[in-house]
């Protein structure tokens, strides 16, 4: 969709959302990607761990985009339940990953246009 072929996409898996920013930074700095999409889910538990992980992942991902100049799209779901995460990842509440992909294409095109203007 949107002119992106399957072989244009590289998938890198990390053990948790807290680790996303480091891998996103490595990918952005490699100059091989027009955009980086960060997908994941942080599901609220019974401890304060949720707020820490969600907040640090969000800040880290934003910092990667600003520091590298590469669009880095935040597609990490923050939900209270697994059911909510599933619904937002392609279930009843739409597909957050799809929207992140569209945003990545739009931002990559905008940055390219600004760089050549």
Q: What would the pLDDT profile of 65-116 be if each residue is shown by its tens digit?
A: 999 999 999 999 999 999 999 998 887 777 899 999 999 999 999 999 999 9
The residues, ordered by sequence, that sit 6+ positions from 105 with a Cβ below 8 Å of its Cβ are 2, 3, 4, 35
Our answer to whether residue 99 is catalytic in this structure is no
Check residues 107 and 1 and name the one with the higher pLDDT: 107
Separation CA 3–CA 32 (nearest Å): 17
Start-end of H helices in the chain: 20-29, 49-68, 82-88, 96-116
> Which residue matches tokens 């930074």?
25
Catalytic-role residue among 2, 49, 52, 99: 49
One CATH from 3.40.50.300, 3.40.718.10, 3.40.50.960, 3.10.450.30 for 6-116:
3.40.50.960
- Are the C-beta atoms of residues 42 and 80 closer than 8 Å to each other? no
- What does the domain layout of the chain look like in residue ranges? 6-116
3-state secondary structure of 1: coil
| Confidence grade of residue 117 (pLDDT, cut at 50, 70, 90) | confident
pLDDT in tens, 18-63: 999 999 999 999 999 999 999 999 999 866 788 889 999 999 999 9
- Are the C-beta atoms of residues 91 and 41 closer than 8 Å to each other? no
Instruction: Please state the pTM of the whole predicted model.
Output: 0.90
pLDDT score at 1: 58
- Are the C-beta atoms of residues 15 and 115 closer than 8 Å to each other? no
Separation CA 110–CA 13 (nearest Å): 27
The torsion angle over the Cα atoms of residues 56, 88, 35 and 105, rounded to 10 degrees, is: -150
């Amino acid at each position: 969709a949107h002119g992106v072929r399957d072989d244009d996409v590289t998938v890198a898996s990390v053990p948790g959302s807290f680790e996303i920013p480091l891998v996103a930074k490595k990918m952005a700095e490699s100059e091989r990607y027009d955009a980086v999409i960060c997908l994941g889910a942080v599901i609220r538990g019974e401890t304060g761990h949720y707020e820490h992980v969600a907040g640090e992942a969000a800040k880290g991902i934003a910092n990667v985009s600003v520091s590298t100049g590469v669009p880095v799209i935040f597609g990490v779901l923050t939900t209270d339940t697994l059911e909510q995460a599933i619904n937002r990842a392609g279930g009843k509440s739409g597909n957050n990953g799809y929207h992140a992909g569209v945003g990545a294409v739009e931002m990559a095109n905008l940055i390219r246009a600004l760089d050549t203007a």
